[in-house]
Structure 1
Amino acid sequence: MEVWEELRRTPWLWNGFLALFGAVAGSFASAAIYRLPREGLSLTRPVRSFCPSCGYRLRWSDNLPLLSYLLLRGRCRSCGTRIGALYLLNEVGLALLFPLAGQTWAAAEGPAALVLLLVALTALWIAAGVDFGHLELPDQITLGGVPFGLLAAALVPAFHLWQPGAVPWGAALLGLGPEDPPRLLALASAAVGGGGAFLLLFGIRALFSYLLGQEALGFGDVKLLAAVGCLVGLEGAAWTLMTGVVVGAVLGLLNILRMILVVHRRRLRRGRARSLRSTVHLGWLLGRQIPFGPPLVLGTAFVLLAPGATHHFYLQTWPEWIQSWIR
């Protein structure tokens, strides 16, 4: 622990180490986002990374986070095919996110807490990437997140006991109190949080699917929220869902507007003028379906990185805003 604290007291070394570790995690995330939704591929088969275009097996020098992409100018060394910028985005994104996580409660809690937090953030990043590109959430993360959340609760109760003296909602529902052991409170919160989050979103999915006459929500989203409940408890899952709904609604509206403009421009180029109503209707049909996984991931990240601030926002700040608007 002395080495840990000494490292934290040296900001440039601490942040540099986490940024480097994040870039490596981003490189892994790129491979996972490509492999998980495809038949015949897995995280371990084939072992070495390869070019999706020509199948060239990358050497270690071709797989250096950030550097390889820049030195090769975003192209395959063998066939010259352009490599998507998303690979670089994954590495840069996690290289920035990891130092941010290193400034949160987890670093103060200890190495185990920070490692579990970084693993969770990487898994969530991968889930968002897969859902964004393929409209599906991988079971390896959604179902695998359930035992991971239970393990995190057992090893680091602070994932659920982030507020001194407070009893997690799930533990309180089972009749537990502040006098009970922290690990028991965290495990109870994880178990009730996972089950409660699953039932909540499953019920919402069933209700809106019935009302709309079509599937309103993917089952992968239900499984993801169950994993979130195991990781951060029932209240954390609730804040995640509320954030996801708001962010998803905003993104959905922007996507519909984008598709309306796309339809309008294409019709103008083709000289096929149509009524505004027809253009809006087609844009709405094309733009209304967006993946719900990324908004849920964003909500989970808020809860993981700033649990106290998120809890305070939804229980105090937000209600005060509503009351001020009503007045």
Structure 2
Amino acid sequence: MLVSQGVDAALAGVLGLLVGSFLNVVIYRLPKMLERQWAAECASLADAPGEPAAPAEPFNLMVPHSRCQHCGHAIRWYENVPVLSYLFLRGKCSSCGSRISPRYPLVELATGLLFAWCVWRMPGQFGGLVWCGFAAALLSLALIDWDTTLLPDDITLPLLWAGLLASIAGFTAVPLASAVWGAVAGYMSLWGIYWLFKLTTGKEGMGYGDFKLFAAFGAWFGWQALVPIILMASVIGVVVGIALKFSSGLREGGYVPFGPFLAGAGFTAMIFGPDAILRAVGL
């Protein structure tokens, strides 16, 4: 039994490496796709009546093929093998020698480890794969938000619905009623905090994507898990914020997106359970 479980986990880890390579594409391209979409919508509104808009070059998750951002060198298939290609190339472009960010192999490794853990720990093969999807979406959201302060609806809303469907299918231990009320409470709680902060200070303390991500956590973990998750997200946020302040790593205006900290708390809840979060903070 353990041998079979270990083989499944190892295969899931390999799958995770491949998915992680794709997640790097999602993390980089999805915000740019949204920006192009918004720009096209603005341009269509500004065009004179009857004047056709200029056709845009295709840009999505499939085309154009991956290229070096410095010299435009088309990345060959053997230069795109997860982790191994980075090591073989010594972290540099084979054409111009420019440095390749180590985040690419780290995302691949992280996804592989998360997939292996999900299949090892979660009940049933299908249940493990469902949680693999949760982990992949959450990792993508964390890094997209860190880079761009965006939490795209293209990921948060499917993640929310997937949590409700997973409850119905029995892939989570959360009853459907708890999942539904968790989604409602998750969204409304941060929505209320947002408006209270805005009415008090005149500033926006977070984005609507944070509401939707927290609602997704309510669907996956139930309404009872929301307090532990928001506590853990706050603790992670304080620690990272202090570290960035002392290292002069804060962005202009001192703004740090909240999504990555929510994601960190979501991973903590997935791996250790919401109750473990309360114990960790002494409650």
What SS does the corresponding residue of 2:31 show, helix, strand or coil? coil
What's the counterpart of residue 263 of structure 2?
A: 297
Cα distance in 2 between the residues matched to 1:207 and 1:237? 19
What's the counterpart of residue 60 of structure 2?
A: 42
Aligned to 1:147, which of 147, 153, 161? 161
AA aligned to 2:239 is V
Aligned to 1:59, which of 66, 73, 76? 76
Cα distance in 1 between the residues matched to 2:142 and 2:255? 15
What's the counterpart of residue 125 of structure 1?
A: 139
What's the counterpart of residue 4 of structure 2?
A: 7
Question: Using a 3 Å threshold, how does the CA distance of structure 1 residues 15 and 118 change in structure 2: closer, same or farther?
Answer: same
Cα distance in 2 between the residues matched to 1:257 and 1:24? 37
- Contact map agreement 2:268 2:277 (CA 8 A) in 1: no
Question: Using a 3 Å threshold, how does the CA distance of structure 1 residues 288 and 24 change in structure 2: closer, same or farther?
Answer: same
AA aligned to 2:94 is R
Question: Using a 3 Å threshold, how does the CA distance of structure 1 residues 20 and 157 change in structure 2: closer, same or farther?
Answer: closer
Question: Using a 3 Å threshold, how does the CA distance of structure 1 residues 24 and 122 change in structure 2: closer, same or farther?
Answer: same
- Contact map agreement 1:256 1:287 (CA 8 A) in 2: no
- Contact map agreement 1:209 1:217 (CA 8 A) in 2: no
- Contact map agreement 2:186 2:214 (CA 8 A) in 1: yes
1:253-272 alignment to 2 at 5 Å?
253-259=242-248
Cα distance in 1 between the residues matched to 2:177 and 2:63? 37
1:157 Cα deviation after fit: 4.6
1:102-251 alignment to 2 at 5 Å?
102-104=119-121, 106=122, 109-160=123-174, 186-251=175-240
Cα distance in 1 between the residues matched to 2:263 and 2:63? 27
- Higher radius of gyration, 1 or 2: 1
Return 5+ residue gaps in structure 2 as ranges: 37-58
Structure 1, residues 274-322: CA drift from partner, whole Å, max 9, x if none?
A: xxxxxxxxx8x95731111111001111212232xx32552xx368x46
1:58 Cα deviation after fit: 2.6
- Contact map agreement 2:130 2:171 (CA 8 A) in 1: no
Count of aligned pairs: 259
Cα distance in 2 between the residues matched to 1:42 and 1:237? 35
Structure 1, residues 202-238: CA drift from partner, whole Å, max 9, x if none?
A: 0011111222221111221111111221222212233
TM-score normalised according to structure 2 size: 0.82
What's the counterpart of residue 23 of structure 1?
A: 17
Return 5+ residue gaps in structure 1 as ranges: 161-185, 263-282, 323-327
What's the counterpart of residue 165 of structure 1?
A: none
1:152 Cα deviation after fit: 1.3
What's the counterpart of residue 118 of structure 2?
A: 101
Which has the bigger relative contact order, CA under 8 A and spacing at least 6? 2
Cα distance in 1 between the residues matched to 2:77 and 2:242? 43
- Contact map agreement 2:229 2:265 (CA 8 A) in 1: yes
- Contact map agreement 1:255 1:287 (CA 8 A) in 2: no
Cα distance in 2 between the residues matched to 1:218 and 1:225? 12
AA aligned to 1:44 is M
What's the counterpart of residue 87 of structure 1?
A: 104
Cα distance in 2 between the residues matched to 1:230 and 1:190? 4
What SS does the corresponding residue of 1:203 show, helix, strand or coil? helix
Cα distance in 1 between the residues matched to 2:72 and 2:173? 42
Identity across the alignment (%): 32
Cα distance in 1 between the residues matched to 2:61 and 2:243? 34
AA aligned to 1:208 is F
- Contact map agreement 2:8 2:120 (CA 8 A) in 1: no
- 1:311 lines up with 2:275 in the alignment: yes
What's the counterpart of residue 267 of structure 1?
A: none
| RMSD of Structure 2 on Structure 1 (CA) | 2.4
Question: Using a 3 Å threshold, how does the CA distance of structure 1 residues 60 and 312 change in structure 2: closer, same or farther?
Answer: closer
